[in-house]
């Protein structure tokens, strides 16, 4: 069952599994694991490419794990099975094609502990699931430009390991949150809000978000890819956060009007902003009367002023 069809089971998951332990006063546990594939895969259409983690994050009583490696998938699934709580294990469909080592004897970290996948000191990139993998690829590209990004894989969306994120932000002072989900009311919105509240004094710049477009996923392959962040997008977002001056150099000559939203309006704004003023203004002759101005908005000339009267003659003494 993919996350798209889990909508049919939400009544049982949200109204029963997530509520029974609370409503029974802890008398009944709910050892339930719901393992669901999801995310934008290759041309599956709008109804089969949904990201519903934001829905599950807002349900008290549910836990949400999001593995991004084969090792984490092994660890977190086993941890979920032995738990007495209802746990959703979200697995990105494209990660099923990835390969990696699995050490069955290695000691697993806590199921909801975030991991630092790459050390850095210039900025922190926080992500989860498939985009945690893409963020690591972007960090490699950024290092070629002299930008060392620290990449944090959340591994869990409910609860979130805030301490690991805060410790990284205290070191780098800049953060970019990357997610495949839509930007509006997505997981990234909660991450940015909470870390801004907790770590405001550590920030050298506002925390930025890079997320999917707020539209249904198109079937066309090129359009589908354009709706979610890709490695070049992550690189550009991180670069702009670390070197904001580079992003503003292009607009030093002329800038569009603030109200411009389309190409035509932007061009009009540039033309309006760059209208040349006359090089020299006409000089005024001292004592010369100024030309009469036209009546406001009507083009009717104002009558010229009457000549001054001749001085009155004085009588002889």
76 within 8 A of 35, measured Cβ to Cβ: no
Of the spans 38-47, 120-129, 251-260, which averages the highest pLDDT? 120-129
CA 254 from chain center: how many Å?
Answer: 27
The better pLDDT of the pair 113, 246 is held by 113
Mean of the per-residue pLDDT values of the chain: 83
Instruction: Quick: pLDDT tens for 140-190.
Output: 999 999 999 999 999 999 999 999 999 999 999 999 999 999 999 999 999
Instruction: Please tell me whether residue 28 adopts helix, strand or coil conformation.
Output: coil
Beta bridge pairs of residue 35: 89
The better pLDDT of the pair 281, 179 is held by 179
Distances (CA, A) of 228 to 47, 223, 233: 16, 9, 9
The better pLDDT of the pair 281, 212 is held by 212
Distance of alpha carbon 306 from alpha carbon 285, whole angstroms? 20
Whole-number pLDDT of residue 269? 34
Whole-number pLDDT of residue 263? 35
Whole-number pLDDT of residue 246? 53
What pTM was computed for the model? 0.76
Instruction: Please tell me whether residue 201 adopts helix, strand or coil conformation.
Output: helix
What fold characterizes domain 5-247?
Answer: Rossmann fold (3.40.50)
Mean pLDDT of 285-291: 42
Q: In the chain, pLDDT over 90 holds for what percent of residues? A: 71
> Does residue 201 carry a pLDDT above 50?
yes
Beta bridge pairs of residue 243: none
> Does residue 305 carry a pLDDT above 60?
no
């Amino acid at each position: 069952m993919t996350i798209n069809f889990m909508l049919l089971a939400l009544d049982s998951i949200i109204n029963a599994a997530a509520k029974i332990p609370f409503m029974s006063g802890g008398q009944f546990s709910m050892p339930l694991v719901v393992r669901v594939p999801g995310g934008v895969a290759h041309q599956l259409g709008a109804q089969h490419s949904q990201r519903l983690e934001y829905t599950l994050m807002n349900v008290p009583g549910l836990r949400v794990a999001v593995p991004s490696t084969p090792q984490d998938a092994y660890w977190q699934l086993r941890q979920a099975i032995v738990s007495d709580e209802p746990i959703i294990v979200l697995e990105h469909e494209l990660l099923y094609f990835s390969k990696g080592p699995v050490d069955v004897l290695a000691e697993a970290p806590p199921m909801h502990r975030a991991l630092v996948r790459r050390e850095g000191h210039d900025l922190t990139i926080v992500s989860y699931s498939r985009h945690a993998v893409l963020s690591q690829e972007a960090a490699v590209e950024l290092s070629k430009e002299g930008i060392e990004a620290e990449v944090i894989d959340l591994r869990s969306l409910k609860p979130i390991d805030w301490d690991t994120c805060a410790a990284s932000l205290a070191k780098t002072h800049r953060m970019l949150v990357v997610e495949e989900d839509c930007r509006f009311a997505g997981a990234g919105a909660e991450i940015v809000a909470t870390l801004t509240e907790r770590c405001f004094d550590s920030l050298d710049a506002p925390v930025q978000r890079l997320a999917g477009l707020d539209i249904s996923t198109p079937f066309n392959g090129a359009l589908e890819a354009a709706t979610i962040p890709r490695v070049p997008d992550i690189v550009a977002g991180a670069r702009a956060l670390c070197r904001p001056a580079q992003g503003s150099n292009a607009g030093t000559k002329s800038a569009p009007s603030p109200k411009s939203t389309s190409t035509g309006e932007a061009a009009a704004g540039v033309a309006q902003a760059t209208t040349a003023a006359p090089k020299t203004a006409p000089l005024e002759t001292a004592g010369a009367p100024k030309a009469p101005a036209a009546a406001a908005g009507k083009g009717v000339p104002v009558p010229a002023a009457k000549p001054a009267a001749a001085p009155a003659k004085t009588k002889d003494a």
